[in-house]
Amino acid sequence: MKDKSLPRRRTFLKQAAAAAVIPMTAASQSRIAGANRRIRVGLIGCGGMGGGDLRDFLRVGNTECVALCDVDDTQTAKMKEMVGKGFNQTPALLTRDFRRLIEQKDIDAVIVATPDHWHAIPTIMACQAEKDVYVEKPLSLSIGEGRVMVDTARRYKRVVQMGTQQRSGSQFTDAVEYVRSGKLGKIRLVKAWAYQDWMGNIPVLPDEPVPSTIDYDMWLGPAPRRPFNRNRFHFNFRWYWDYSGGLMTDWGAHMIDIANWGMGIKAPRAAMAVGGKFGFPDDAEETPDTQQALWECDGFSMIWEHATAIGKGPYDRDHGVAFHGNNGVLVVDRGGWEVYPETETVKRRKTYRMAGEPRRGPSGEESHLAHVRNFIECMDSRQNPRSDVEIGHNSMITCHLSNIAFRLGRRVEWDADRERFVNDPEAQKMVTREYRAPWDLKKLAG
């Protein structure tokens, strides 16, 4: 399905896209200017999302994969085979060290699809090397990392897109436009959730020697040194605090982003959270398999729910966002959106406050491909992309505040303008995280 009008179909999106234009340096201009320009791409992180990202980059056309990087040689080999068989291309550089990829002068764009604890450093270094960056969600592992990523992108005038592809899905665009139209009336509550029944119990496994095909020290990078354990490696890294923030930052990065977009907020005023390992208390995961968060925002409240290994979320959907207005409730997920009219009872008679809207599915180009296309178009136009690095940072602040409140076991207050906790030194320490030597975020940021 293709919808060529998608990038232009919403007036407010055009205005937002035009609000910031990123100047192009002479080096960048010489690399990608011209009607027959060919964008040369390097991929850092050859796992599942890295493969999906790279595949859509090559599907867009006028793109060439020139370098692959992964600390696991088996991952790199599979990606090289995909690029060869699927697109008849042969990457010139295969490496375990992302710095070798970034230093290549002929690379125009870098895809960062590593585990979460490795998102910040490659993104920052790629920006410093005058390369544009498509970085997977969640943008950062900490609020402090996200701020440095935004500042670096701005300083070096780079296009940086976070991989929250829902921003390029027609159903989410339509839903947000409806929310902003005022038809729902005053919105007093926003709910977001992810109930993932396919994410289940992770059995405890013993530590083991590092396989010869893996550079484990590089995989750990700035994270604390620990013995090699397959439970903490590849996909399951997201259930450990050293590398990720659990389902809150995994799916919260998507759903909270839509909530923020619809309500037009930067960050909440305060956060609290409860939950725990209630479904599988003795399995290998660290992050909660069940969690609820509550954020205080100006004029409305926002609630998050998540659970693994069960799938019956609000409105009988395993994921979604619901905007509760005085007149009606709009519910949106990856399958579509609809509006349920609110009711009122007058003299024992129940009436509806508005007409509902039937469920409408997505239309046009698939959201992930459209998201990649938007990034590539912005490399030429120098406009900020739909999931610009600062948009991603703001949405991740909300997620990180929830996890900080959960880990502290109490309510925390946030100053969105200063990006600081209010009179809370203990919480403030968690805005950044300690890096393992030789990695140093402050030194890298200059």
Per-residue pLDDT of the chain (446 residues; tens, 9 = 90+): 334 333 333 433 333 433 456 655 544 544 444 445 799 999 999 999 999 999 999 999 899 999 999 999 999 999 999 999 999 999 999 999 999 999 999 999 999 999 999 999 999 999 999 999 999 999 999 999 999 999 999 999 999 999 999 999 999 999 999 999 999 999 999 999 999 999 878 999 999 999 999 999 999 999 999 999 999 999 999 999 999 999 999 999 999 999 999 999 999 999 999 999 999 999 999 999 999 999 999 999 999 999 999 999 999 999 999 999 999 999 999 999 999 999 998 888 889 899 999 999 999 999 999 999 999 999 999 999 999 999 999 999 999 999 999 999 999 999 999 999 999 999 999 999 999 999 999 999 87
The ranges assigned to domains in the chain are 6-167+367-388, 170-223+231-363+395-438
Tell me the fold of 6-167+367-388. Rossmann fold (3.40.50)
What predicted TM-score, i.e. pTM, was given to this entire model? 0.91
**SS3 assignment for 218-277:** HHHCCCCCCCCCHHHCHHHHHHCCCCCCHHHHHCHHHHHHHHHHHHCCCCCCEEEEEEEC
- Domain 170-223+231-363+395-438 = CATH 3.30.360.10: yes
Question: What are the φ and ψ backbone dihedral angles of 300, each rounded to 5 degrees?
Answer: -160, 165
Query: Tell me: the pLDDT tens digits for 318-337?
Result: 999 999 999 999 999 999 99
Whether the upstream peptide bond of residue 341 has omega within 30° of 0, thus cis, is: no
SS3 40: strand
CA 385 to CA 130: how far, in whole Å? 17
Q: Contact, 261 vs 217, CB < 8 A? A: no
Q: What percent of the chain has pLDDT over 90?
A: 88
CA 324 to CA 377: how far, in whole Å? 35
